[in-house]
Amino acid sequence: MPAFTLYGSRGSSNTDRVRLTLAEGGFTDYELVVLNLGKGEQKSAENLKRHPFGKVPSVTFPEGFTLYESRAICKYLARKYSFPLLPPDSDLEAVALFDQAESSEVLYFADPAGKIGFEKFAKKFMGLPADEAIVSEALRSVEAYFDIAERLLQQKDYMAGNDFTLTDIYYIPLIQRLFACGYGDVILSRKAVAAWWDRVVNRPAIQQLLAADKEAMAAARK
């Protein structure tokens, strides 16, 4: 029996955040159950028991423990299985800096980047036109965010300090989506941000998972 079950969706940036965390932790003892968002399976009565907001991802354990929201899942798994992706609880300053970086990612990056991904990526598959006004405003916010990140990353290697942490993983799915939507220059035009991204995305475990997903998507299109 696998250690737990991850309920998610292919192409879901939130699901990928958890999968990347597990890959970086070298953890494979879990089952991935893929829900079809196009068919509304995330809104099923069964999934609403796991995720009351009718979204993905969620995890369930054999003893009955269930958890939803990707960042909460990532932190729980990192603690439960001792992935070296969180600062030690004994280092209060490092923990505070991690919490600060995590809050910054959620509040100033994920919201506008998610809007771009939805308008330019998800709507394409739904056969709907993008709302360019929303995209334009969100892109301005993302640009402003990385202007600040550019200054901060001149003083440290990663978002929460000089160690790679979960916070860095949190960015990967939505930045991948920005590249897919043609906005990779947001990252590559900023020297310190580009160097950070290169350090993050080229980690062996992350590269392996991203390459496997790319192959799977290419095979699905055939």
CATH code: domain of residue 55: 3.40.30.10
Same domain, 141 and 208: yes
Q: Does residue 112 have a cis peptide bond before it, meaning omega lies within 30 degrees of 0?
A: no
Q: Is the pLDDT of residue 222 over 90?
A: no
- Note the pLDDT tens digit of each residue in 124-173: 877 888 899 999 999 999 999 999 999 999 999 999 999 999 999 999 99
Domain range spanning residue 28? 4-80
- Note the pLDDT tens digit of each residue in 24-36: 999 999 999 999 9
Same domain, 149 and 58: no
- Note the pLDDT tens digit of each residue in 197-206: 999 999 999 9
How many Å from the N-terminal Cα to the C-terminal Cα in the chain? 33
Token pair of 156 as six digits: 């440290």
Same domain, 69 and 105: no
**Cα separation of 162 and 160, whole Å?**
7
CA dist 147 → 64, 80, 153, 167 (Å):
44, 35, 10, 18
What one-character-per-residue DSSP string does 142-205 give?
Answer: HHHHHHHHHHHTTS-SBTTBSS--HHHHHHHHHHHHHHHTT-THHHHTSHHHHHHHHHHHTSHH
Same domain, 46 and 104: no
Output 121 or 5, whichever has higher pLDDT: 5
Neighbours of 73 (CB within 10 A): 23
pLDDT confidence band for 122 (50 / 70 / 90): confident
